Amino acid sequence: MSDKRFNRRNFLKIMGAAGVATGAGVMMPKEVLLARAEKSGKGRQRYEVKPGELDDYYGFWSGGHSGEIRIIGVPSMREIKRIPVFNWDVGTGWGITNESKKLLRGRNFGDTHHVHGSYKNGTYDGKWLFVNDKLNNRVARIRIDYMEVDAIVDVPNIQGAHGLFPQRYPKTEWVVLNSEFQTPVPNDASNKKAFLNPQEYYGMHTIIDAERMSIVCQVMVDENCDLAATDYKGKYSMCTSYNIEKGVTISEMLASDYDYLIIFHWGRIRDALRKGKYKRVNGVKVIDGRKGHSDITLRIPVPKNPHGVNISPDGRYAVCCGKVSPTVTVVDLEKVDLAFEGKIKPEDCIVAQPYIGLGPLHTTFDGRGNAITSVFIDSTNVKWNIAKAIEAEKKGPEEKKKNPHIVDVLDIHYQVGHIMATMAETKEADGKWLISLNKVSKDRFLNAGPFKVENDQLVDISGEKLRLVHDSPAYIEPHDCIMVRRDIIEPKVKHRHEMFEHPLAVTKNSVERKGNKVIIRMTANAPVFGLQEVRVKKGDKVTLIVTNHDEIIDLTNGVAISNYNINFVIAPFQTKSVTFTADKPGVFWIYCTNFCHALHLEMRMRLIVEA
Amino acid sequence: MKRILLLILFLCLSYPVSGYGQWKFFEHRYKYELKDVLKADRFVKKDGYWEGYRDGKLVGYVFLSKDWTAKLVGYSGKHMETLVGMDTKGVLTGVKLIFHSEPIVLIGLKEKNYLKFLEQYPGKSIRKDLSVGKEISMDAITGATVTAVVQNAIILGSARKVAALTGMIEYVEGPERKVSREYSRLTWKELLDMGALKKITVTYKDLGIEGRGVYIDLYFGVITPPSIGRNILGDRVYAETMKSLKKGESAIVVFSRGEGSFKGAGFARGGVFDRFNISQEDRVYVFRDMDYRFLTEIKAEGAPEIKEGGVFIVRARDFKEARPFKFNLVIPYRVGGKKEFKAFSAEYRVPDRFLHSAK
């Protein structure tokens, strides 16, 4: 594969060929519908959420290159809200207000892939969400009580900030972030040799302090660091790596027949930090985790170009998907310590490598010993039993060929990426619903032009068989999601802000001038702004601070300044501010944009800019 | 030094701005005299009310609502200050609005409509059950249900408190009883049979409108006894609700089946539930959205699906959950194009088995 010209067709051919070689002669069960026509119960859950009813799960979806997070009710699949994160949101004013600008620091685009919740004892604590920005290499934290971003940390020395996972036990103190693209370290063109030589590009496993939202350290490796996971004992984090070759072209990245699941030893990372075994690069403590240089990392060889790594809810197994191989690799985490101590070889931690289908990408769990893996090229979700796969591996190749582990295969529409079951990334995986985040919707919705949305399919996994029950279109472009039981989130979410949490909360209307700086402090109380008019002079630097004094639930006000390209909303008891230069003389109506009252249209005032 | 002083002066330059924007537009304040509501030639100030004398003889009382029911607020979030006159028998002699900011203009009403609504009070006895939709007509301010319900509560609440204070009406209050913390598992049928839940049924026939059978079946009850609350709400919602209660607060559950709605939409922007309230002795309690938690299902074994539901916190400390209270429901409906209202009520008392015995 030295051909420089490479296209999608060839790529699929390669992947297909690998699949046929291993999967030859395998009969795949394709039955979709259940024979029993039960109205409810196992395998027949009610998925209709009637008017006035509420969903059982909060779904948190990443937004891909829209840069946002979405809250989706499951099983109704109703989109409840969008949380702007790394994007400009002209509706809420995210990226426009001073508060959001301070967090975004001038970068209003992002690419969110993996959203995960904070944990306590292996399950969600309902405090925070974390999400990566692959585009600008950041991590944002969302506080669940307000469902708003409250911190963003920039991560230096990396590109392709991809896999992200919070610590699961005993609670989320650390969040790990993988860099999928290897780069020179530091990447500032200062070292000409490294700059030009891909062999001196490195991947990073970054550890972030969840509370402070600052970087604890980075573990530097030769390989790229793709998807991420943490164990259930607070001992390890891990990444899959598909470019151990340090390739910069697809053919180079596909050169090796194997790649790695890399496991990071947290105890040894703490030791290195304590003993000062790091160097500082761009202010960050960088620990050398390269093969042969470090005892922090363990490399378990897996078939070439693996994709997702997911941990079974009992905490025992890491399941690493093959992507280019039609298999998944099951790693027994109880053996990892022995491998770190050198008592067994890294590959001895592998307890099964069952056949799944062409292009397995991600695995999720039903909490009853079964795994469900998304299979991209076949366009299927494959349910398989972990214990049976391990047993067949022990019995040998003949038994393996019978594929006794496979329970059911569901056709999905089409080309699934991530897959996630309810509560599946916790020890409380409940095996109720599954979302298949399909990359291609093709013919599943009304044709809305050449650029088509994705198709998130809802699957009932409560029974033996997988049952497809609903298609929902998804705009650009969720990668992954989690679904959290309502009882965990609901008690944490507030109806109104704590007014004085914002240091500038306004209780008295005033206009204050300091030189050419004007500060307007104003209340909003539907249908009235606290001021009727404000006079400034052309060229004044104006800061408008507004506090919503309505405490009634859902009474949000908007504040927009005509022709000044400014708009933001303020929820009950919330304060936001915006600073702008009054560069256009004239009369400009400031009006409420968020329907608030029968006299909403009358809720307006004048900004008078004198020449 | 001089330059610094100048600079400070310069920095402090700011100009005063007029109050709170256009709020004044919604505010209506009226002048009043005590004799506006009671024919008397002499008034003697007492603590919280005036005695009115005519020819040296006590003929009644005059009081300001904000001294008695200031916590009752209308659609505007503000109390409607009312001057009330009452004779020594408990018959209202006059009612005068002295301040309000109810935005009745929004529903096409004029100030005079509001004043007309108040004209029906003089001559009515507070010993009677004066509820909106029954003895108190909403005709003058049709549509302003929150305003009407709260205004009614303000007048009656204030008057009954003064009546009690002046010895006009008496309560024989039993000894204070406490809710038992014991829990036993109870089914839907058991809860109904023992009166832990009370029911108000309104049929289409009751309203005189087209339709067959039941328009709304409404259930309500006090939920603080675990044997009621936990069985109805389930462990989680019960625990969360109880945890959210401050000392002295109580909680009731209200839910319904059928086409009719007890929640209505008044709370969506006004924050006040205008179709129901509860009353106990001289006090009326209305609920706001801050007192409300959405409820979609009843957990008790054998319970039916519900259409609407909510847990409502009684914030006022003077509500005694172990004593009887009344649930008042106002149902709006349409006859042709005309909006009508009808009121229904039912008495509730926590079953004895959930109370500690009186000492």
Residue A27 has pLDDT above 70, yes or no: no
Question: Which of A53, A529, A598 has its CB closest to that of B296?
Answer: A53
Taking CA atoms, what residue in B is nearest to A56? B296
* ipTM confidence: 0.79
Chain B interface, Cβ < 8 Å to A? 10-11, 13-15, 17-23, 77, 103, 106-107, 236, 240, 268-271, 289-290, 294, 296-297, 307-308
Which three-class secondary structure state does DSSP give residue B333?
strand
Nearest to A210 by CA among A151, A135, A278: A151
**Residues A57/A73, Cβ–Cβ less than 8 Å:** yes
Determine if the peptide bond prior to B332 is cis (ω within 30°).
no
Chain-chain contact of A554 with B268 (C-beta, under 8 angstroms): yes
Query: Cβ of B271 and A528 within 8 Å?
Result: no
Q: How many C-beta atoms lie closer than 10 Å to residue A268's C-beta?
A: 18
Tokens describing residue A447: 């044709």
Distance from CA of A147 to the nearest CA of B (A): 19
| Residues of chain B positioned with their CB less than 8 A from the CB of A598 | 103, 106-107, 269
How does pLDDT run across A307-347, given as a tens digit for each residue? 999 999 999 999 999 999 999 999 999 999 999 999 999 99
Contact call for A510 and B14, based on CB within 8 A:
yes
B359 CA: distance to closest CA in chain A (Å): 38
Cβ of A487 under 8 Å from any chain B Cβ?
Answer: yes
Closest CA of chain A from B77, distance in Å? 9
pLDDT tens-digit series, residues A464-485 = 999 999 999 999 999 999 999 9
Task: Please indicate if any CB of chain B lies within 8 Å of the CB of A529.
Answer: yes
| Poorest-pLDDT segment among A86-100, A508-522, B122-136 | B122-136
Token pair recorded at residue A368: 């009853």
Distance between CA atoms of residues A596 and A527, nearest Å: 7
Please, which residues have CB within 8 angstroms of residue B219's CB and are 6 or more apart in sequence?
Answer: B197, B198, B199, B253, B254, B255, B256
Q: Is the Cβ of A484 closer than 8 Å to some Cβ of chain B?
A: no
CA A327 distance to own-chain centroid: 25
Q: Nearest chain A residue to B310 by CA: give it.
A: A52
Is the peptide bond between A450 and the residue preceding it cis, with omega within 30 degrees of 0?
no
Whole-angstrom CA distances from B148 to A330, B110, B153 are 69, 14, 9
Chain A CA closest to residue B243: A491
Q: Which of B15, B17, B315 to mutate to test the interface with A (most CBs of A within 10 A)?
A: B17
Per-residue confidence band for A150, with pLDDT thresholds at 50, 70 and 90: very high
> What is the overall mean pLDDT for chain A?
93
Nearest to B289 among A487, A510, A552 (CB): A552
Rounded CA-CA distance A157/A182 in Å is 10
List the helix and strand counts (H, then E) for chain B.
9, 16
* Residue A453, H or E segment: none
User: What homologous superfamily is domain A8-29+56-492 in, according to CATH?
Assistant: YVTN repeat-like/Quinoprotein amine dehydrogenase (2.130.10.10)
Chain A CB contacts of B11 under 8 Å are 514-515
B111-118 vs B145-165: helix axis angle to the nearest 10? Answer: 40
CB atoms A530 and B13 under 8 Å: no
Domain ranges of chain A: 8-29+56-492, 499-610
Pairwise CB contact (< 8 Å): B22 & A528 = yes
CA distance A75 to A45: 10
Residue A126 backbone class (left: φ over 0; alpha: ψ -120 to 50; beta: rest): left
* CA A415 – CA B115 distance, rounded (Å): 68
For residue A435, give every residue at least 6 positions away whose Cβ sits within 8 Å of its Cβ, in sequence order, or none: A59, A74, A419, A420, A421, A456, A457, A458, A459, A481, A483
Radius of gyration of chain A measured on its C-alpha atoms: 26
- The rounded average pLDDT for each run of 10 residues, N- to C-terminus, in chain B (359 residues) is 42 39 74 95 95 96 94 82 96 95 78 92 90 82 80 91 86 71 95 96 93 95 96 95 94 96 86 88 82 93 94 92 92 84 92 82
Pairing state between β A517-525 and A541-548: parallel
CA atoms of B188 and B223, how far apart (whole Å): 14
- Order of strands across the sheet that contains A138-143: A115-120, A123-133, A138-143, A148-154
With beta carbons under 8 A apart, name residues in chain A contacting B308.
52
pLDDT in tens, A72-86: 999 999 999 999 999
> Residue A222 pLDDT more than 50?
yes
Interchain CB distance below 8 Å, B240 and A491: yes
Three-state secondary structure of A497-515: CCHHHCCCCCCCCEEEEEC
Sorted by sequence, the CB contacts under 8 Å of residue B143 that are 6+ apart come out as B107, B108, B109, B339
Chain A to chain B Cβ contacts (< 8 Å):
68
- Can you tell me the mean pLDDT for A375-385? 97
Find the closest chain A residue to B18 by CA distance: A531
Whether the Cβ atoms of residue A237 and residue A228 lie closer than 8 Å to each other: yes
Record: contact B20-A553, CB cut-off 8 A: no
**Helix and strand totals (H; E) in chain A:** 9, 40
Nearest residue in A to B11, CA atom: A514
Across the interface, of A509, A596, A597, the residue whose CB is closest to B20 is A509
CA distance B9 to chain A (A): 10
Centroid of chain to Cα B177: 24
Cα–Cα dist A23/A380, whole Å:
15
Report which secondary-structure segment, H or E, holds A16: helix A8-23
CA distance A507 to chain B (A): 11
Residue A507 in contact with partner chain B when CB distance is under 8 A: no
* Sheet bearing A416-421, strands edge to edge: A416-421, A433-438, A454-460, A467-474
Q: Tokens for B297, please give them.
A: 């299902």
Tell me: the pLDDT tens digits for B151-203? Answer: 998 999 899 889 988 988 875 556 678 889 999 999 999 999 999 999 999 99
Cβ-based contacts of A553 with chain B (< 8 Å): 271, 289-290
Q: With pLDDT > 70 as the criterion, what percentage of chain A qualifies?
A: 93
A523 shares contact with chain B (CB less than 8 Å): yes
Residues 6 or more apart in contact with residue B28 via CB below 8 angstroms: B97, B99, B100, B101, B111
Q: How many CB atoms lie within 10 A of CB A429?
A: 21
Domain A499-610 sits in CATH at 2.60.40.420
Task: Name the residue in chain A with its Cα closest to that of B16.
Answer: A510
Angle at B349 between CA B347 and CA B354, to 5 degrees: 160
Residues of B in contact with A551 (CB under 8 A): 271, 290
Residue B188 and residue B180 in contact, taking contact as beta carbons nearer than 8 Å = no
Please give the pLDDT value at position B144. Answer: 79
Residue B289 has what DSSP assignment?
A: G
Minimal Cα distance from A532: which residue of B? B21
- Dihedral pair phi/psi, residue A343, rounded to 5°: -80, -30
- Position A10 pLDDT exceeds 70: no
Nearest CB among B11, B23, B236 relative to A528 is that of B23
Nearest neighbour of B307 by CB, restricted to A52, A531, A553: A52
Does residue A95 carry a pLDDT above 50?
yes
Q: Is A514 on the interface with B (CB under 8 A)?
A: yes
d(CA B217, CA B301): 19
Q: Which residues of chain A neighbour B19 with C-beta distances below 8 Å?
A: 509
For A148, the token pair is 């708003």
Interatomic CA distance for residues A34 and A472, integer angstroms: 22
**Is pLDDT at A373 greater than 50 in this prediction?**
yes
CA distance B59 to chain A (A): 43
Residue-wise DSSP of A335-380: GHHHHHTTSS-GGGGEEE--B--SSEEEEEE-SSSEEEEEETTTTE
More confident residue, A6 or A158: A158
Contacts of B307 in chain A (CB under 8 A): 52
Q: What is the rounded distance in angstroms from the CA atom of residue A365 to the CA atom of residue A19?
A: 24
* CB-based contacts of A319, cutoff 8 Å, min separation 6: A309, A310, A311, A312, A328, A329, A330, A331, A363, A371, A373, A386
Chain B environment of A73 (Cβ under 8 Å): none
Is the pLDDT reported for residue A2 higher than 50? no
Judge: B290–A531 Cβ closer than 8 Å, yes or no.
no
Which residues in chain B are closer than 8 Å to A493, comparing Cβ atoms? none
Mean pLDDT, residues A440-467? 96
Question: In chain A, which residues have their Cβ closer than 8 Å to the Cβ of B290?
Answer: 495, 551, 553
Q: Residue A17: what pLDDT?
A: 41
- CA distance between the termini of chain B: 78
**What token pair was written down for B160?**
């009954």
Please report, as a single letter, which amino acid is at residue A243.
N
| Alpha carbon distance B68, B86 (integer Å) | 15
Residue A249: strand, helix, or coil: coil
